[in-house]
Structure 1
Amino acid sequence: MADHQTKIHPVLDIEAPSSARTLVPEGSVRSEKGDPAILHQPQIQENIPLMHSKPPKNKSCCCKFLCWTISLILILLIILGATAAILYVVFQPKIPQYSVDNLRISDLRLNFDLSLYAKFNLRITADNPNKKIGIYYEKGSHLSVWYKSTDLCQGTLPKFYQGHQNKTVLNVALTGQAQYGSTLLAALQEEAQTGRIPLDLKIDVPVSIKLGKLKMRKVRVLGSCMLIVDSLSTNSLISIKARTCKFRLKL
């Protein structure tokens, strides 16, 4: 009777501790001693680029510079505003005033080229109403007399210093030539028949303000005086029937 060989397969003890259990994956190769040899699969490494974060130094520097600049500008504006307010309270500045006392026409005639030659003499009173401010009248002033849109004659004010609360009388000569003299003279003569001739005196005067012993920068006094005269007779005093003057400072 043939002997039957029985193959005994080891049974895994599931109650044994995990350290005592060894799982042999299918397809493992055993060593010569019978121990299972575990196949090590090659590990695949991926080259992932490293991102190095740098602090935004340029942006932070720009922000700091901008903040410092704005703060400095605000501080300067506050200082200038406070200084201007103190000066205004202490000196109480007022715009100088000018008035045309009389007007005399020395010459008004047609030239050979049919341009109109005019020479006016004005007596102007400059009034400085300030108690603590002196006025230096500088070079570069310009005065002109206009009839509607035509510049008849021009002149300048002398250079001088005007003290506190002072009124100075100035005699100013203005001369000039205007084109289309025959047409212009006819229009003036027609206005003279009504006894109301409109003339516009424009004033542009550079002045320097003196606060105590301190001489400030130049400003300009701009003004306009609308005059209504009765005639344009030469070498005679002309009556000024109405006058309206406006003045302002240009920094």
Structure 2
Amino acid sequence: MPSDPMPVNPRIHPNPTSIVIDKGAKPTVPLVPRNSSIPSDKGDVMGNNQPPFQQSLPPFRSLTRTPKRRSCCCRVICCILSLLLVFLLVIGILVLVFFLVFHPKVPNYSVDRLRITDFRLNLDLSLYARFNVRVTAKNPNKKIGIYYDKGGKMSVWYMKTRLCQGSFPAFYQGPLNTTATDVSLSGQNQYGKTLMQALQQQQQTGNIPLELKVDQPVSIRVQGIKLGKVRFLVNCKLTVDSLNSNNAISIKASNCNIRVKL
């Protein structure tokens, strides 16, 4: 008996009990419930619903006070700078008004006479000098008086070497006043022999350069009010013909400059 022929495309019906799993699909239900406390091989991973790294963090400290402190310091610094700026602005305005109203001018100085009463070489080869200088000061201001306070110094120099020194007298010079002052100077230099030789060689030319310096503290008087102190720094370049004692010394050239130091 001939056998039945086999079908060309047989159909395979799936088993109703088989499960097809798609590896690309995401599960919609977690395998382990989130609120469960199932232990694992490495410990309680999901216990108390807290990540494990939060347990090793140090306690949190509040830093809310630091910005307040910084803001207070900034406010104090800003207030100080503002007050300083206002103070400088007021001072500048007062100085500007003073210059516009009173037109202050520095005095004029001149060396009218120079006399040497003693100029000799001692036994210890030190040089002793004694000068007498007459200085004339002219106050060109119409509304400003000048107080020449105590502590003023005058000195005579030759080639950056001080020959003698004395005190400038204290007095008051009113507006548009001219005052002549005689000052006695004396001094001793230990390098007398070398200095004397240099002066003798210079004296042969008939032109001996000298320098007269004055450092004088003064106070300004305006409308009967005595203001703060300043310093007059006077520098006079002189050229004389000789340095012989008890002889008339001719001043060939004289040029005085003044600088005000606050």
Tell me, yes or no, whether TM beats 0.5: yes
Paired position in structure 1 for 2:149 = 138
Letter in 2 for 1:152: L
Paired position in structure 1 for 2:219 = 208
Unaligned runs of 5+ in 2: 1-28, 38-46
Q: Which of 36, 40, 64 lines up with 1:41 in the alignment?
A: 36
Q: Distance in 1 between matches of 2:145 and 2:60?
A: 75
Q: Distance in 1 between matches of 2:242 and 2:30?
A: 130
Paired position in structure 1 for 2:175 = 164
Unaligned runs of 5+ in 1: 1-23, 27-37
Paired position in structure 1 for 2:250 = 239
Q: Distance in 2 between matches of 1:155 and 1:71?
A: 47
Q: Distance in 1 between matches of 2:79 and 2:135?
A: 52
Gap change, CA 1:242 and 1:41, over 3 Å in 2: same
Paired position in structure 2 for 1:119 = 130
Paired position in structure 1 for 2:115 = 104
Gap change, CA 1:40 and 1:93, over 3 Å in 2: closer
Residue 207 of structure 1 and its aligned partner are, at CA, apart by 0.6
Structure 1: 4+ residue segments shifted above 4 A: 47-53
Same amino acid, percent of matched pairs: 53
Gap change, CA 1:25 and 1:220, over 3 Å in 2: closer
Q: Which of 152, 157, 160 lines up with 2:163 in the alignment?
A: 152
Gap change, CA 1:85 and 1:25, over 3 Å in 2: closer
- The CA deviation string for residues 53-91 of structure 1, in whole angstroms up to 9 with x for no partner, is 626111111111121111111111111111111111111
Q: Distance in 2 between matches of 1:52 and 1:100?
A: 78
Q: Is the 8 A contact 1:206 1:218 kept in 2?
A: yes
Tell me which moved more, 98-107 or 47-56: 47-56
Paired position in structure 2 for 1:71 = 82
Gap change, CA 1:41 and 1:227, over 3 Å in 2: same
Residue 45 of structure 1 and its aligned partner are, at CA, apart by 3.1
Report the TM-score when normalising by structure 2. 0.77
Describe the SS at the equivalent of 1:204.
strand
Report the TM-score when normalising by structure 1. 0.80
Describe the SS at the equivalent of 2:48.
coil
Matches for 1:12-27 after TM superposition, within 5 Å: none
Paired position in structure 2 for 1:193 = 204
Paired position in structure 1 for 2:25 = none
Describe the SS at the equivalent of 1:164.
coil
Q: Distance in 2 between matches of 1:66 and 1:124?
A: 52
How many pairs were matched up? 218
Paired position in structure 2 for 1:249 = 260
Gap change, CA 1:109 and 1:50, over 3 Å in 2: closer
Q: Is the 8 A contact 1:102 1:237 kept in 2?
A: no
- The CA deviation string for residues 141-179 of structure 1, in whole angstroms up to 9 with x for no partner, is 111101102110111111111100111000111111111
Gap change, CA 1:25 and 1:194, over 3 Å in 2: closer
Paired position in structure 2 for 1:10 = none
- The CA deviation string for residues 34-57 of structure 1, in whole angstroms up to 9 with x for no partner, is xxxx99624623285777562611
Describe the SS at the equivalent of 1:93.
coil
Q: Distance in 1 between matches of 2:30 and 2:191?
A: 120
Gap change, CA 1:60 and 1:25, over 3 Å in 2: closer
Q: Distance in 2 between matches of 1:171 and 1:25?
A: 114
